[in-house]
């Protein structure tokens, strides 16, 4: 087992850290307050290769591996979770899905502008009535005589929906076949039949725009079907396996930021004549924070390693991704909670970023599969039972 990183991995980590600390950290609180989408930063991140880290250079990306992606995500999330949400959806839910299942022409046309940061991509699976139970979707795609599909229905909680140029959409094309009747489509948001609905006022990751989208007789052309007709659910699940490693990385970055702020505070803050970090009750919390943080980081890197290996073996990494996401998101929630507690009143104040970390951490236990769904995936895969 080798715990060291390659030069390329360290290089993208350094690029991400520099951008995160110089350009994101100073404005993160203001973006959180205003809820404005950080478009200029996202464009620049695209130019630095951060919007398509695993995308080959011929499609506008940085051509790096899954470990490099994790390292870069951790750095961006440590500065601001909202920026890392936008980065994660672009990289994994959108680019990864198209790279894996798209044709050469689809990759050229739809991956290049998104991986280079010229435009934003999104992923649309969830609906107002179906979140965890994704196959219960109502959005319909009806095949026409000329091979095109007419799409009607609603999707909700679409990260980057308000600004996306292209969306990877999942719709039911054959309701009789349930999971095997779902097809994936590439949606152009500038085409007739596509509308944006209400935006979500959120507890955290406030600068990452989220909205409902609606289709009214939207016509998808045959060349806009991604993968085979009826294979959409497997595509969505495969893409989410990769996406969950992104959310695990985000949780690690966020937890690391909260932990480091807490260490500094525990050394500086005096109570009863001593640094509060010398009290055993604080020391116990710090030791537990450190253990959870390291476990989350190592499990996330293991999942990324399995994902990278899958390029050669084709082996699924669903369990490792679910273990990483579950462990890291629960660690982030616990660590940010303890960080607020140790900071006392300052943890509760908007003068410091702790309350933002705490609010942002919650979403990592919910999106791209709740903690309950991660436990279900792990237990089903471990026992072989359903």
Which spans of this chain sit near ligand CAA (rule: CB under 6 A)? 89, 123, 125-126, 132, 134-135, 157, 159, 179-180, 233-234, 237-238, 240-241, 316, 318, 367-369, 373, 376-377
Task: Tell me the catalytic residues.
Answer: 368
Shortest Å, Cβ 333 to ligand CAA: 17
Shortest Å, Cβ 323 to ligand CAA: 13
Query: For 342-360, b where at least 16 C-beta lie within 10 A, e where not — what string?
Result: bbeeebeeeebbbbbbbbb
Q: Can you say how many angstroms the Cα of residue 200 is from the centroid of all Cα atoms in its chain?
A: 17
* Closer Cβ to ligand CAA, 94 or 259, answer by number: 94
* Closer Cβ to ligand CAA, 192 or 385, answer by number: 385
**Residue position matching structure tokens 């959310």:** 247
Angle ∠(48,52,54) on CA atoms, nearest 5: 115
| H-helix or E-strand spanning residue 197 | strand 194-199
Output the CA torsion sign for 115, 117, 119, 122.
positive
Give the residue among 356, 342, 248 at the shortest CA–CA distance from 289: 342
Shortest Å, Cβ 261 to ligand CAA: 26
Residues in contact with 104: Cβ distance below 8 Å, sequence separation at least 6, in sequence order: none
CA distances from 107 to 55, 87, 174, 232, 243 (A): 10, 18, 26, 17, 19
Q: Can you say how many angstroms the Cα of residue 275 is from the centroid of all Cα atoms in its chain?
A: 38
* Closer Cβ to ligand CAA, 270 or 386, answer by number: 386
């Amino acid at each position: 087992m080798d715990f060291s990183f390659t030069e390329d991995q360290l290089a993208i980590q350094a690029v991400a850290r520099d951008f995160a600390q110089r350009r994101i950290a100073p404005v993160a609180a203001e973006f959180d307050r205003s809820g404005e989408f950080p478009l200029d930063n996202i464009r620049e991140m695209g130019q630095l290769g951060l919007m398509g880290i695993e995308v080959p250079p011929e499609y506008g990306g940085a051509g790096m591996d899954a470990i490099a992606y994790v390292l870069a995500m951790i750095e961006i999330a440590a500065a601001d979770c909202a920026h890392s949400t936008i980065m994660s959806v672009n990289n994994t839910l959108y680019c990864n899905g198209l790279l894996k299942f798209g044709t050469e022409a689809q990759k050229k046309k739809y991956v290049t502008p998104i991986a280079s940061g010229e435009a934003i991509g999104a992923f649309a699976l969830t609906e107002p009535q179906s979140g965890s139970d994704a196959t219960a979707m109502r959005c319909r795609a009806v095949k026409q005589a000329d091979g095109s599909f007419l799409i009607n229905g609603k999707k909700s909680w679409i990260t980057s929906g308000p600004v996306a140029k292209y969306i990877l959409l999942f719709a039911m094309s054959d309701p009789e076949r349930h999971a095997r009747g779902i097809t994936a489509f590439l949606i152009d948001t500038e085409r007739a039949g596509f509308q944006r609905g209400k935006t979500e006022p959120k507890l955290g990751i406030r600068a990452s725009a989220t909205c409902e989208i609606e289709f009214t007789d939207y016509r998808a052309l045959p060349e806009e079907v991604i993968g085979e007709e009826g294979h959409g659910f497997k595509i969505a699940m495969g893409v989410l396996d990769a996406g969950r490693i992104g959310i695990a990385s985000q949780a690690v970055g966020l937890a690391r930021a909260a932990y480091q702020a807490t260490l500094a505070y525990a050394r500086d803050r005096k109570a009863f004549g001593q640094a509060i970090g010398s009290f055993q009750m604080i020391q116990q919390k710090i030791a537990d924070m450190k253990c959870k943080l390291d476990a989350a980081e190592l499990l996330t890197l293991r999942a990324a390693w399995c994902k990278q290996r899958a390029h050669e073996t084709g082996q699924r990494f669903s369990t490792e991704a679910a273990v990483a996401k579950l462990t890291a998101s629960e660690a982030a929630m616990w660590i940010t909670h303890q960080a607020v507690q140790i900071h006392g009143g300052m943890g509760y104040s908007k003068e410091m970023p702790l309350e933002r970390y705490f609010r942002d951490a919650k979403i990592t236990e919910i999106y791209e599969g709740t903690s309950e769904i991660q436990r279900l995936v792990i237990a089903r895969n471990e026992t072989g039972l359903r």
